[in-house]
Structures are given as C-alpha cells and as structure tokens.
Amino acid sequence: MKKYTIGLITGALLAISGMMFIGAQNKNLGDITAESIKLVSEHGETFIVGGGILISNADGKQTAILGNNDRESGNLSTYNSDGKQTVYLGTSESGSGHLNTYNADGKQTANFGTGKGNDGFIGLYNHFGNIGWSARGWKY
C-alpha cells in the first residue's frame, strides 16, 4: 500500500509539474520596470541604468558604455584597464556622427566624422592630443 501511495503522489506531482511547464510557455510576462539591473560574473559587472549599459571589469573599472551621452544622443565608448577612454563612436555636438580614438594616456589620436558645414572630416593627432594632419571632404 505504501508503494502504491508513493507512486500515486509521484504521478500527481509529475502531472502538475507538466501542466505548469506547458502553461508557463504560453504566458507573456509583459514589461519589466526597474530603476536598474545589475548582472554579475567572475569577469566583471554589467549595469543597465537609465539610458545606458555600463560594463566594468573584475576590478570594478568601467570598460564600456553603450547608451545616451550628455546631449541625449547615442554613443558607444570603450576604456582601457586604467579607466582612460580609448574609443568614442557616436553623435558629435553638432548632431553628426563621428569616431574618435585615444591613446593609452587618454589623448585623442584620430577623428573621423562630420566637420563644420556638414562636410566629411579626418584628423590625426600627435601623442599629446594636438592636431597634426587633417582633411575635409570639400575644397574651397
């Protein structure tokens, strides 16, 4: 009788579990609203906060940002292990797209994007961040 009761209870629990599993596949959880979301792994942390995704390494130093900049435009920025910015891909102050690269000291080394007058622009900088060579997509 004891084996019969255990078998009946086991069968009932399996049936209920199956129904819950099948029913869960048909459910839409809708929108999830939160102030922030924090994902943690052995390699670092990822925060989804407001208008961006912030990624940091195992030492807690920020390594990348994907989101809105201070001008409410999109951007992607990466940082080295010292916390210095290495790449900025996004929207400039004029509202045009551009790509900036930086050396290990955080000094700008290149700019590719849209310059004044909405013309294409390329600029190369020395290791101090001073302009060394540039060209525009329009000749006057």
93 and 109 together in one domain: yes
Write out the residue range of the structural domain in which residue 9 sits. Answer: 1-30
Q: Is pLDDT of 68 > 70? A: yes
Instruction: Give tens-digit pLDDT for 70-93.
Output: 767 889 999 998 889 999 999 887
118 and 130 together in one domain: yes
104 and 47 together in one domain: yes
| Mean pLDDT for the stretch of residues 1-19 | 76
User: Is residue 90 packed enough to be buried (19+ CB in 10 Å), middle (13-18) or exposed (0-12)?
Assistant: buried
12 and 59 together in one domain: no
82 and 64 together in one domain: yes
Beta strands at 120-125 and 108-114: parallel, antiparallel or unpaired? antiparallel
Q: What is the pLDDT of residue 29?
A: 63
Q: Give the residue carrying structure tokens 């995704």.
A: 53
Q: Secondary structure of the chain: what % helix, strand, coil (to 5)?
A: 20, 45, 35
The b/e string for 97-126 (b: 16+ C-beta within 10 A; e otherwise) is: ebebbbbeeeebbebebbbeeeeebebebe
60: CATH: 3.90.930.1
64 and 74 together in one domain: yes
Rg (CA), the chain: 26
Number of structural domains the chain divides into: 2
Copy the structure tokens of residue 77. 């920025």
74 and 49 together in one domain: yes
In this structure, the number of other CB atoms found within 10 A of the CB of residue 67 comes to 16
112 and 131 together in one domain: yes
24 and 36 together in one domain: no
55 and 124 together in one domain: yes
Average pLDDT over the chain, rounded to an integer: 84
Q: What is the pLDDT of residue 105?
A: 92
79 and 19 together in one domain: no
Whole-model pTM: value is 0.69
122: β partners: 112, 135
Copy the structure tokens of residue 65. 């940002």
16 and 55 together in one domain: no
